[in-house]
Amino acid sequence: MKKTVLFILILTMLCVALSIPCLAQNTSYHWYCKHVKEHAQPQIEPNMVFIEELDGYYLDHECGDEKVIYLTFDVGYENGNVAKTLDVLKEENVSAAFFILGNLITHDTELVKRMVADGHTVCNHSVQHKDMTAWSDADFLQELHDLEALYKEHIGSELASFYRPPEGNFSKQNLACAKANGYKTIFWSFAYPDWDNQKQMSKEKAKQIILENVHNGEVMLLHPTSATNAAILGEVIRELKSQGYRFGTLDELTGGEA
């Protein structure tokens, strides 16, 4: 009897030990970057350093003293402000990356076609904007591939292989799976509360926050549905240009075409 109990105990401990790597792979993380002073590059949290080994990018480490910004937008629908954002980008001759959802492709196809025609990089933000940290690799990939298929069907070209986790939620497994299937995961080194259309801050305050936190190699995340962003984007771009900043592409950030 004692031997049986001991055997079960050892077997249980072995099973737990073997499951630890899998559990670690499925640990859910939420991405964020603290705002820092004096235009310094924000530092990644120590428990997230693995992202760089799994083709995850949040800023340009190699830019040195070069004033380069990678302008990115997350967008799932049009409310009039996305088109205004595209107007500003065209006027200012700035290329950006748009991480889009399935809804935008099916309901605002011409808007997405315009993004492509205007020279922007259109990227994968998933079909449904769900937290995929507990999903299997198969289900996770299905979200990415379904968006690729929608894009191909409605836009007629291939979606860029850059992925941004919805709401910044991710796991090692997600990143490893994305990398194994040709995707590079793009985070950000600056964002601010601009996504709630019912809680838009003043234009003056928003502009102040954006400009106070600009840094070399920044991956800037904005939401183009924001009325405030649409109103100040031209001023922000012109101010950044006057300070010597230029706007780079994700291909440049990641060292090659996706």
- By annotation, the residues acting in catalysis are 74, 223
Tokens coding 87: 């107007």
Q: 173 φ, ψ to 5°?
A: -60, -45
- Encoding tokens for residue 258? 């996706």
Query: CA of 213: how far to CAs of 32, 44, 128, 168, 217, in Å?
Result: 14, 16, 31, 20, 12
For residues 29 and 68, what is the distance between their CA atoms, to the nearest angstrom?
A: 28
Token duo for residue 121:
């990089």
Question: Do 30 and 169 contact (CB within 8 A), yes or no?
Answer: yes
Task: Report the run of H or E that residue 111 belongs to, with start and end.
Answer: helix 109-117
Q: Are 185 and 175 in contact (CB under 8 A)?
A: yes
Nearest in space to 148 (alpha carbons), one of 108, 195, 182 = 182
- Best CA proximity match to 231, nearest among 106, 69, 84: 84
Strands 169-170 and 29-30: antiparallel
Euclidean distance between CA atoms 248 and 246, whole angstroms: 7
The CA-atom distances, in angstroms, between 143 and each of 78, 104, 169, 220, 227 are 21, 15, 15, 25, 29
